[in-house]
């Protein structure tokens, strides 16, 4: 029961001040995607969504709402969830959105390029330090899950924008409370917060040219999937993402195999 209470509180925080009578099925689908972007385990998402279903059933039975938006929502199953991956074209649109004529735009471009290049988890990117970077060698030291440190390569585009951000922006924003944190808030000069990161992703993840829902985890999936599609070794991807076993790459491999099947279906090689 405590878990269900926690789930309902989480859902209430997600919808904010909206009246529950205005919530529709699309809102519930977005909430489920938001849980995925927050890197909830599938079993936790199932439990949270079940709590929301029961909540709306209660509202319906007590005539607080006239139509239950959760009634037709297909249940999430542990064996499913091939989440949509942003295409390379969508990622290029995303990366081009920040206004590089502004300091905030330079920071945001550097941040998005770094996420796409490295596939870092949310806490990993927030914990990056200036001293973690070696721009000359194109590498960054990352503290991952279980306090396991790894060194990840950083692509040329990300290195370019990181260098620009460090030289032109971070130096101007930094003060005695900034510490060694790489990413700083534009107004406070303090280390970038969890919510500020989410706002950045929401700001640039909508609009023309982007159909797939953009979140931090979808960028991580895009990094892995696009590298695999271009011939990168699964072992190299495993090391980049900080997975302890190759089995964790199955979701990315399935996506690339699906893409291959679709391409083959269109081309009909041999016919």
Rounded CA-CA distance 116/204 in Å is 14
**Which residue among the candidates 121, 122, 170, 221 is catalytic per the annotation?**
121
Half-sphere exposure of 20 (CA within 13 A, CB side): 19
**Which residue among the candidates 41, 145, 203, 254 is catalytic per the annotation?**
145
Half-sphere exposure of 175 (CA within 13 A, CB side): 8
For residues 232 and 224, is the Cβ–Cβ distance under 8 A? no
3-state secondary structure of 136: coil
48 is catalytic: no
Rounded CA-CA distance 33/249 in Å is 20
Rounded CA-CA distance 224/234 in Å is 9
Name the nearest CA neighbour of 210 among 59, 87, 111, 115: 87
160 is catalytic: no
Name the nearest CA neighbour of 81 among 221, 243, 228, 219: 221
252 is catalytic: yes
The H or E element that residue 134 is part of is strand 133-134
**Which residue among the candidates 48, 165, 204, 252 is catalytic per the annotation?**
252
**Which residue among the candidates 170, 217, 221, 226 is catalytic per the annotation?**
217
Using the 8-state DSSP alphabet, how is residue 98 labeled? S
**Which residue among the candidates 122, 220, 221, 226 is catalytic per the annotation?**
220
26 is catalytic: no
Rounded CA-CA distance 135/141 in Å is 11
58 is catalytic: no
139 is catalytic: no
Rounded CA-CA distance 84/201 in Å is 17
3-state secondary structure of 108: helix
**Which residue among the candidates 164, 213, 243, 248 is catalytic per the annotation?**
243
The H or E element that residue 157 is part of is helix 156-165
3-state secondary structure of 143: strand
Residues assigned a catalytic role: 121, 145, 217, 220, 243, 252
């Amino acid at each position: 029961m405590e878990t269900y209470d926690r789930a309902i509180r989480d859902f209430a925080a997600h919808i904010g001040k909206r009246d529950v009578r205005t919530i529709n099925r699309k809102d519930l689908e977005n909430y489920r995607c938001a849980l995925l972007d927050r890197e909830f385990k599938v079993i936790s998402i199932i439990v949270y969504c079940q709590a929301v279903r029961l909540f709306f059933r209660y509202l319906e039975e007590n005539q607080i709402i006239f139509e239950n938006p959760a009634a037709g929502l297909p249940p999430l199953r542990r064996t499913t969830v091939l989440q949509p991956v942003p295409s390379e074209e969508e990622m290029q649109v995303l990366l081009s959105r920040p206004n590089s004529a502004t300091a905030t735009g330079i920071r945001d471009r550097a941040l998005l390029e770094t996420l796409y290049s490295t596939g870092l988890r949310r806490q990993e990117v927030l914990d990056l330090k200036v001293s973690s970077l070696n721009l000359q060698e194109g590498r960054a030291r990352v503290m991952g899950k279980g306090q396991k440190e790894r060194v990840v390569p950083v692509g040329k585009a990300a290195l370019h924008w990181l260098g620009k951000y460090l030289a032109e922006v971070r130096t101007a924003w930094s003060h005695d409370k900034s510490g060694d944190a790489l990413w700083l808030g534009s107004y406070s000069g303090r280390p970038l917060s969890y919510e500020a990161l989410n706002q950045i992703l929401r700001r640039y993840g909508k609009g023309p040219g982007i159909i797939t829902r953009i979140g931090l985890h979808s960028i991580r999936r895009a990094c892995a999937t696009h590298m695999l599609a271009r011939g990168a070794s699964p072992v190299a991807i495993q090391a980049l993402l900080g997975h302890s076993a190759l089995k964790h790459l199955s979701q990315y491999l399935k996506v690339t195999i699906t893409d291959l099947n679709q391409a083959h279906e269109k081309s009909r090689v041999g016919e």
